[in-house]
């Protein structure tokens, strides 16, 4: 399994030193973890994910271009048509970006290519879930993400019943999210050994590793990653 740390804001550079596979940046303004400003340079081995909630298509494309995002996570009620339109834009967008200064004497122009930008569609689960709604998204989205249904689109801090995923009818890889923390290690170990985990591609963590919204507790995250490596053979390469 791979690891995504979401809700990046105050200390993404420190989190990146722990070498997760994905870092998530939230571009939904009502969120207490809303990201704005300059994104730090990150290792190429870490994929940058932009999290959006029912955002206009143009806004998503602008953020992908501005921050060179590797994936977008759609956390709202985005339709199949919306996802299809977004994918079409990604596949057709290849353009010259602004010149980037390499040193004091020269500049180089870089090519902005969105053709490999992944779409992660989020679905929220409470007591049950109608998996039939996934079918039309399968050919468009690259990954699904299952989170706990709550008052907010994400970051609610508690888990859903993972055994529901034993009824998962697809072979589309998915991210497992929702209230995962240090106390979840044993539960994750049991999940890994259950039929429900067959297509689980990555674990997504957020609020359980914060000292305040957007500020991650590096010590707790490091402990979590070390324990995951011991128990689940976490893959920290891409």
Domain boundaries, the chain: 2-232
What is the per-residue pLDDT for 151? 60
Average pLDDT value for residue range 189-201:
93
| pLDDT on residue 93 | 75
pLDDT band at 125 (very low <50, low <70, confident <90, very high): very high
- Residues contacting residue 28 through CB under 8 Å, at least 6 positions apart: 34, 51, 52, 53, 55, 75, 153
Cα angle 115, 118, 124 (rounded to 5 degrees) comes to 155
Provide the pLDDT for residue 112: 73
Q: Residue range 46-58: average pLDDT?
A: 97
Residue 216 has pLDDT above 70, yes or no: yes
Nearest to 190 by CA among 166, 210, 208, 213: 166
Q: pLDDT at residue 108 above 70?
A: no
User: Do 95 and 112 touch, CB atoms closer than 8 A?
Assistant: yes
Task: Encode pLDDT of 1-23 as tens digits.
Answer: 899 999 999 999 999 999 999 99
Q: What is the CATH number that goes with domain 2-232?
A: 3.20.20.70
pTM value is: 0.89
DSSP states of the chain: -EEEE----S-HHHHHTT--SEEEEE--TTSTTB--SPPPP--TTSEEEEEESS--HHHHHHHHHHHT-SEEEE-S---HHHHHHHHHHHHH-EEEEEEEE-SSS-EEEEEEE-TT-EEEEEEEESS---GGGGGGGTTT-SEEEEEE--SSSS-------GGGGGG------EEE-SS--GGGHHHHHHHHTSGGGTTEEEEEE-GGGEEETTEE-HHHHHHHHHHHHHHH------
Calculate mean pLDDT across residues 203-218: 95
What's the mean pLDDT when you consider all of the chain? 88
Confidence of residue 194 (pLDDT cuts 50, 70, 90): very high
Q: Using CA atoms, how far apart are residues 139 and 133, in angstroms rounded to an integer?
A: 13
- pLDDT per residue as tens digits for the range 147-187: 997 666 555 566 899 999 999 999 999 999 999 999 999 99
Q: Does residue 238 register a pLDDT over 60?
A: no
């Amino acid at each position: 399994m791979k690891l995504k740390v979401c809700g990046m804001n105050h200390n993404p550079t420190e989190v990146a030193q722990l070498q997760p596979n994905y870092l998530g940046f939230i571009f939904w303004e009502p969120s207490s973890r809303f990201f704005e400003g300059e994104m730090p340079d990150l290792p190429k081995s870490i994929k940058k994910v932009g999290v959006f909630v029912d955002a206009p298509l143009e806004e998503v494309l602008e953020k992908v271009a501005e921050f060179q995002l590797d994936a977008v996570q759609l956390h709202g009620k985005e339709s199949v048509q919306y996802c299809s339109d977004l994918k079409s834009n990604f596949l057709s967008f290849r353009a010259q970006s602004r010149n980037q200064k390499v040193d004091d004497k020269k500049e180089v122009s870089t090519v902005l290519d969105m053709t490999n930008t992944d779409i992660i569609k989020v679905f929220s689960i409470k007591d049950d879930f109608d998996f039939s709604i996934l079918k039309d998204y399968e050919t468009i989205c690259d990954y699904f993400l299952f989170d706990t249904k709550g008052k907010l689109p994400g970051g609610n801090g508690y888990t859903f019943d993972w055994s529901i995923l034993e009824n998962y009818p697809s072979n589309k890889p998915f991210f497992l999210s929702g209230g995962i923390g240090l106390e979840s290690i044993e539960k994750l170990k049991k999940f890994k050994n259950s039929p429900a985990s067959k297509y689980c591609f990555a674990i997504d963590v957020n609020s359980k590793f914060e000292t305040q919204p957007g500020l991650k507790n590096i010590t707790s995250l490091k402990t979590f990653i070390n324990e995951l490596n011991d128990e689940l053979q976490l893959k920290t390469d891409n």
